[in-house]
Amino acid sequence: MTATLLERPPTTSFEHAALPSPESPVKLTSIDDYFSIENEIDFVDKVKGIIPEQDTRRYIEDDMYKFLGEFAGKVPYTTIRYKKTPSGLDFAGLNLSDSYQRAATNGDREHAEWVGYDKIQQGLIAGKKTAKWISPAKIADYGFLFHFQQDESDPEWINEYILRYDEPLGTTDISQGIMDRLSPDESYNTAEQFLYNPVIEDGFDDPKRELMFVLKATGISDADIERSFVYEAAIKQLLSGRVDEYTNAILSGDEVGATQLRNGIFAAALEIAANLDKPDPNGPGHTVHSDRFSQPKDSVNKFNNDHIFFGNYASQEVKIEGGGSCPAIRKNSGNPFSANDIRTAIATGTSIENLAESKWDYDKPGTCRICEQEFSDTQAQHNDALGPCALCKDCEKQFNQLDDTPTFLQDDFDLAA
């Protein structure tokens, strides 16, 4: 792939994440609704003796970092991590092929999903470093880009980034716009054609650049990408010691200890994110997020070694706004995917693709956080209630129109650093 990044204009406009207006009612809900300690401990019990403990540890840490990314940092993507084996990709000891293969008999689209997925796993086993897979709108007005990328520090692992984009059901124009940016020579007219033809290649030599290229292709702005990367690095630097402690608590089944650590880590992550978003003291045009972490030593010590300082965070009651980080991630996956949920889905023959889609069902009763309309259980059963952001379908549409114009056609990334 060359640096002819984004030279051609997009065929359609993309939405860009926007926050609701300050006066819109924001419902606060308990952190337990989005991150269940019990669920994490259950996962550990299920995989005991099936996968190595170091892998279990990795899944537990991933769940925490994913949660911090989506719910505190408003990072506009979610990830799932697989292990590469000679027979394909595994999640927590389960081979993914089975779920795709089982679904393949359900229809043309599912058959195309299986064929496309099989190409991806074969390509990755053969040593290719990335695969980009476009899944046009299937059950509602959005499609997904699934981006597989070999882990930077451990080639045994593959990270899948799940990116959701708006696209009217029954059309593939937005999907083609994304394909034009990913692989300009490919052009398809049906969902099945996109699914049959994942783009499997080594991509850019620099894995970070590769990821930026893909995020940008789905319409995420340079500013959001930079902010997300800086946030993730800051979280790892400032909180990894506490996340280790938390992981130990989960592995030993210490529910109380794990809950306190989770609350403290989340409160600290919120503060780190808020710090990142403070107006720049040097004025507009000088927003370099990384400046804010140029001298992190004190903070690292505080968060990791100062028990009284951290204890203040751990004792806070933790509430989450409305549907969590939905304003930022609503284009993407919805609620975070816990290792336990993913494993259960795969074990029951649900492909990751279908799992991602079902996360965006409008099946939650309650009050819309914008128009305050009430939705009943019956409406929820008919998938005519609230989505994962606690917004009704109409409000989500309006919400989209408030969005900024995308910036992805501006200059190429500045990746010289």
Give me the phi and psi of 205, to 5 degrees please.
-60, -40
Q: How far is the CB of 370 from Zn ion (least distance, A)?
A: 5
Whole-number Å distance between alpha carbons of 382 and 102: 26
Under the binding rule (CB under 5 A), the answer on residue 395 touching Zn ion is: yes
Pick the stretch among 107-115, 135-143, 233-241, 362-370 that binds Zn ion (CB under 5 A). 362-370
Comparing CB distances to Zn ion, the nearer of 319 and 397 is 397
Nearer CB in complex with Zn ion: 6/370: 370
Please report, as a single letter, which amino acid is at residue 315.
S
Task: Give the binding range for Zn ion (CB under 5 A) out of 97-105, 188-196, 279-287, 392-400.
Answer: 392-400
Buried b or exposed e, range 59-98, using 16+ CB within 10 angstroms: bbbbbbbbbbbbbbbbbbbbbbbbbbeeebbbbbbbbbbe
State the helix-helix crossing angle for 222-251 and 255-277, rounded to 10 degrees: 160
Stretch that binds Zn ion, among 197-205, 265-273, 303-311, 363-371 (CB under 5 A): 363-371
315-354 residues near Zn ion, rule: CB under 5 A: none
392 scored as a contact of Zn ion (CB under 5 A)? yes
Give, in order, the Cα–Cα distances in Å from 179 to each of 30, 135, 212.
39, 11, 15
Footprint of Zn ion on residues 277-316 (CB under 5 A)? none
The smaller minimum CB distance to Zn ion, of residues 32 and 384, is found at 384
HEC per residue, 190-208: CHHHHHHCCEEECCCCCHH
Task: Tell me how far, at minimum, the Cβ of 398 lies from Zn ion, in Å.
Answer: 8
Stretch that binds Zn ion, among 158-166, 350-358, 389-397, 400-408 (CB under 5 A): 389-397
Angle 37-47/255-277 helices, nearest 10 degrees? 120
As measured in angstroms, the least distance from the Cβ of 368 to Zn ion is 3
Q: Which is nearer to Zn ion, 115 or 140 (CB)?
A: 140
Q: Which is nearer to Zn ion, 326 or 392 (CB)?
A: 392
- Give the footprint of Zn ion on residues 208-227 (CB under 5 A): none
Single out the segment in contact with Zn ion by CB under 5 A; choices: 148-156, 219-227, 337-345, 361-369: 361-369
- The piece of 9-17, 77-85, 329-337, 364-372 that touches Zn ion (CB under 5 A) is 364-372
CB 207 within 8 A of CB 158: no
Contact between 389 and Zn ion per CB under 5 A: no
Tell me how far, at minimum, the Cβ of 371 lies from Zn ion, in Å: 3
Contact pattern from residue 368 through residue 387 relative to Zn ion, giving x for each residue in contact according to CB under 5 A and a dash for the rest? x-xx----------------
Closest C-alpha to 16, from 164, 250, 219: 219
In which region does residue 127 sit, left (phi positive, over 0), alpha (psi from -120 to 50) or beta (all else)? left
Min CB(393)–Zn ion separation in Å: 8
Closest CA to 145 of 171, 114, 167: 167
> Would you say 203 or 327 has its CB closer to Zn ion?
327
Structure tokens at 196: 């049959």
| Number of chain positions touching Zn ion (CB under 5 A) | 5
Q: How many Cα atoms sit within 13 Å of 302 on the Cβ side?
A: 11
CA distance 66 to 340: 14
User: How much is the CA Rg of the chain, to the nearest whole Å?
Assistant: 21
Q: How far is the CB of 373 from Zn ion (least distance, A)?
A: 5
Closer CB to Zn ion, residue 224 or residue 396? Answer: 396
Helix, strand, or coil (residue 162): strand
d(CA 346, CA 352): 7
Least distance between Zn ion and beta carbon 396 (Å): 8
Least distance to Zn ion from the beta carbon of 374, Å?
10
Q: Which stretch binds Zn ion (CB under 5 A): 4-12, 32-40, 71-79, 367-375?
A: 367-375
Binding site residues, Zn ion, CB under 5 A: 368, 370-371, 392, 395
